[in-house]
Every structure is written in structure tokens, then in C-alpha cells.
Amino acid sequence: MMMKKFWTVFCSLALLVTGCTTHDGECHEEIHTLMGVELYSTQYNAQEEVYKPTPYNVHLQVYGVGNDSLLYSLDKSVKEIALPLNNFDTISQFVIAMDSCIGDTLQIIHTSKNKFVSFECGCKFEHSIKSYNYTNHEIDSILLLNPEVNDINAKHLRIFFRTVQQ
């Protein structure tokens, strides 16, 4: 009998505590998804006689193709960028230009799906990178790190820029 009373009181208190939590009606989750891109160069190591990948801190401009939006300007040097993929199309394109060089075009072919987050936040788009194409004026190569674009902090591509051998 004593045990039954204990469980009744315990369950009542647990229900009271969980039922009294309030929601402030604001979204506290990240609902924007961006494709994280690391910028690298390959530096020749004369002692070891090999090329080594090195994070590349560079001034560049990045434009969205088809919407004329300047995403990054030459104001400051960056080692990584975050690019928005098109929610309503399967292709997203960007022009990436260093200082005074001809810009490279990066084309991302992807699928998009809408995912419900919560009543307060609504939905967010998640993307899956299927393939990519690029011109190679300054870009040497690209490595796909993670095809699932669903976290704003993740890195999805690594772009290797051409460097002059010293």
C-alpha cells in the first residue's frame, strides 16, 4: 500500500513538472542550411618532394548565378565560406573570383527536401549533393567531404586552388 502511494505521488509530481514547462513561441533551432566550403591550396614541399594540402586564406568574391547576389566580397580574407543552395531547383551556381583573376563557376547538382522542425520553427530545407562541375581557371580540384547538407556547421566541399610552384 505504501509503495502504491509513493508511485502515485511520484508520477503526479513528474507530470506536474513536465506539464508546467512553457514555450515562449519563438524558434530556438537553426533552420537555415548552408553548404560549408573549405578553401585549400597545394603547396610544394621541396624537402619531401611532394605537394601538401594547406588551408588557404584568400580574398575572394562569390556571386550567386541567376540572382546577382554578392555573397562574399574582397573586403576580408577567408579560409572557408558558406553557400546557400537553391531550395526550389536542382542546380545552384556560384562564381568564385580571386583578386583580379577570371572567376570560376561552381555548379552544384542537388536534391532538396522540406523537413518539419517544430511548430515554432516551421520547416527547413535539407539538400543532398548529387554531383558538381566547375571551371578550372583558378580552381585545381574539388573534394566532396559530405553530400548531406543539413547542418549549418558542417563542411561539404573542399576547393583546392592552383598555386605557383616555388
Output the tens digit of pLDDT for each of the chain's 166 residues.
Answer: 566 565 565 555 554 444 444 456 788 777 889 999 999 998 888 888 888 888 998 889 999 998 768 888 878 889 999 999 999 999 999 999 987 678 899 999 999 999 998 888 888 999 999 999 999 999 999 999 999 999 888 999 999 998 755 4
Give the 3-state secondary structure of residue 13.
helix
What pLDDT does 87 receive?
92
Q: Up-side HSE of residue 77: CA atoms within 13 Å toward CB?
A: 5
Domain residue spans of the chain: 32-161
Q: Do β-strands 35-45 and 122-134 pair in parallel, antiparallel, or remain unpaired?
A: unpaired
Tell me, yes or no, if the pTM score tops 0.85. Answer: no
Give the 3-state secondary structure of residue 129.
strand
